[in-house]
Amino acid sequence: MVEDRLKRKGVRQRWLVDYPRAVPLAIFLLVAAVTALSVFAIESGQRIREDAELTRKAQAMAFAIERRAYSNSAFLRAAGALFGSQDKVDGETFRQFVAELRLDSDYRGAEGIGWAPAIDSTVVAETEAVLNEGKLHSIRITPSIVAEPRSQLVPVLFLQPDTLRNRRALGFDMYSEQVRRKALDEATRTERPTATGRVTLVQEGGGEEPGFLIYMPVFEGSIGNRTLKGFVYSPFTAAQFLTSAAELVSGEETPVRLFDIGDGDRVLMAERQGWAPDRATVDRQVDMAGREMLLVVQASNDNTLSSLSMITLLFGLAVASLLLVVARLLTQQAQEDSRSLDWFAEQNSIRNSLTRELNHRVKNTLANVLSIVSLTRRRADNLDDFAEGIDQRIRALSATHDLLTQSEWGTTPIRSVIEVELAPYANDAEHEVVTEGPQVELAPNDALSLGLAIHELATNAAKFGALSTVGGKVSIVWTLVNERLARIDWTESGGPRVTEPTKRGFGTDLIEKIVAHELRHPVDLEFLPTGVRCKLLVPVREPSEFALRSPPAQHDVG
């Protein structure tokens, strides 16, 4: 046993003896590779978790933005319903309505709520008079209709809260500006709150802070005879609106961007702090009062390795280096053990020679035993009958085993044979393949012969016939002639003009001679100008005609 252990040890150390430098290096590289795979797995799992968290944040942020927009739209709808029922919208009515809304201090991300009547140029003076009621400074409708003549005007008449910033917007004709005018017309058409694209609010006083507005049209009169009365609206600074929506999402600060994509272009509306290049992002489209906007949420973490990955990497490299040193020491020990291994190898060769000699003698012994049994069987009647019974059983068992192996060959439907052979062409949009017929089962050999014929016909059609051109059609229809015979018609159409081949090819001989012989019926193959036609007759046999039979039962011999 000591010798065996030393021998196995010598085999393992042979690599160290033959490759004293390569083996330690290979061990180092193997451990380093395992470490790299471990780091990759850790990072992959971390990325999956981060992506899931980023998707959750994007969904929550999109919901918060739409919620803010919906809340403001709901206020505007309420104002539209109220002002539509009033004969006149005056300053007191408007202020009372806004006060009853009990909005929070920042108006849910909006600058406030305003009223802008829809007027024509004939009532500009009257509207300016209303604008200047209780005002110390005169307010005019801008741009002036003298400088820019126009018939339709939508000037800002009231805007709450009454702040210095909001007073800058009073008297501004929103219908004079293209982006606002487009949203006003869309709101009038749809009769629902409608957001504008990116604009600079008049409240900015010449600044460049992007914003947008949401308009709700107000009509007066009965259904079918209504006229546009004006618009109740809310102006928004995009950055404040985005911040207001972010307050609804709990968690850490997330870098986001909001883009206007309603006109097909991607226009930046607002961006929260923390945005950095080369980080993963998730896009979500949001509905901002009937206008499409795009929310882009960015991951908070950069692409550096996580702490667990760094620990795994350092630990793996340390282990790899340690194993490199250990393997180098083992190579020295292996060289000392090789001499002992050579001696035991010599002893093992001697033992193998003895084993072969023993095996040879065992075979000779068995041959002698068989000879004795044979002689005994010939000389004793009882033993001969008994041996003969044993021989029959062995042969019957072998035959039964073969039959059971072949019994898996059952019947095959015609449709399956045809569909398998035509599978490469059936899903091609440039061709049409039609298969039609009843459920007919074929014997194994007949199915193989039919498949061979269909394969040859399909190959010919793909090279020269209907399957070689766009619009070609192949129709395979089979019918039962009687209970014992099925007819299969192959018809090509829509392909190139066909001429009778001057030289018989291998496929033609294969179908007309070999396949016809195997199916025991002639094959009718025609090369018509419109396409190849082929008629095959296939026997339909009962399973009992080709199924393998079970071997007869054997009787015991007493």
Q: In this predicted model, what pLDDT tens digit does every residue of 104-149 receive, in sequence order? A: 554 567 888 999 999 998 898 898 888 888 777 788 999 988 888 8
Distance between CA 108 and CA 234 in Å, rounded? 11
Q: Are 270 and 286 in contact (CB under 8 A)?
A: no
| pTM reported for the whole predicted model | 0.52
Q: Before 501, cis peptide (omega within 30)?
A: no
Specify the CATH class of 17-300+309-328 in words.
Answer: alpha beta
DSSP string, 435-504: EE----EE-HHHHHHHHHHHHHHHHHHHHTSGGGSTT-EEEEEEEEEETTEEEEEEEEESSSPP---SS-
Q: Is the pLDDT of residue 510 over 50?
A: yes
How confident is the model over 223-241, as pLDDT tens digits? 778 899 999 999 999 988 8
pLDDT at 207 over 90: no
Name the least confident of 14-18, 149-153, 288-292, 293-297.
Answer: 14-18
pLDDT digits (tens, 9 = 90+) for 325-367: 887 777 777 667 766 667 777 777 767 765 764 464 445 445 4
Percentage of the chain exceeding pLDDT 70: 78
When mean pLDDT is compared across 119-128, 196-205, 388-397, 519-528, the lowest value belongs to 388-397
Helix (H, G, I), strand (E, B) or coil at 292: strand
Nearest to 188 by CA among 219, 146, 165: 219
pLDDT of 84 strictly over 80: yes
DSSP codes of every residue in 169-231:
TTTBBGGGSHHHHHHHHHHHHHTS-EE--SEE-GGGSS---EEEEEEEEEEESSTTS-EEEEE
Find the angle CA(248)-CA(253)-CA(256) to the nearest 5 degrees: 80
Query: Tokens 């309505």 belong to which residue?
Result: 97
Computed over every residue of the chain, the mean pLDDT equals: 79
Rg (CA), the chain: 46
The pLDDT score that the predictor gives to residue 460 is: 84
Q: What are phi and psi of 152, to 5 degrees?
A: -105, 130
Q: How confident is the model at residue 177 (pLDDT cuts 50, 70, 90)?
A: very high
Domains 17-300+309-328 and 412-545 belong to one CATH topology: no
What is the structure's pLDDT at 147? Answer: 82
Asked if the model's pLDDT at residue 402 lies above 50, the reply is no
The residue-averaged pLDDT of 443-460 equals: 79
Selected residue with higher pLDDT from 230 and 42: 230
> CA 49 to CA 57: how far, in whole Å?
12
Confirm if 134 and 95 have CB atoms less than 8 A apart.
no
Instruction: Report the pLDDT value the prediction gives residue 368, as an integer from 0 to 100.
Output: 37
Q: Given 3.20.20.210, 1.25.40.10, 3.40.50.150, 3.30.565.10, which CATH number is that of 412-545?
A: 3.30.565.10
Q: What is the pLDDT of residue 357?
A: 46
Under the banding of pLDDT at 50, 70 and 90, the label for residue 296 is very high
**CA atoms within 13 Å, Cβ hemisphere of 479:** 3
Instruction: Write a three-state SS string for 418-445.
Output: HHHHHHHHHCCCCCEEEEECCCCEECHH
The 10s digit of each residue's pLDDT in 233-268 is 999 999 888 888 888 876 557 889 999 998 889 999
Using a pLDDT cut of 90, give the percent of the chain over it.
Answer: 20
Report domain extents, the chain: 17-300+309-328, 352-406, 412-545
Residues pairing with 489 in the sheet: 477, 535
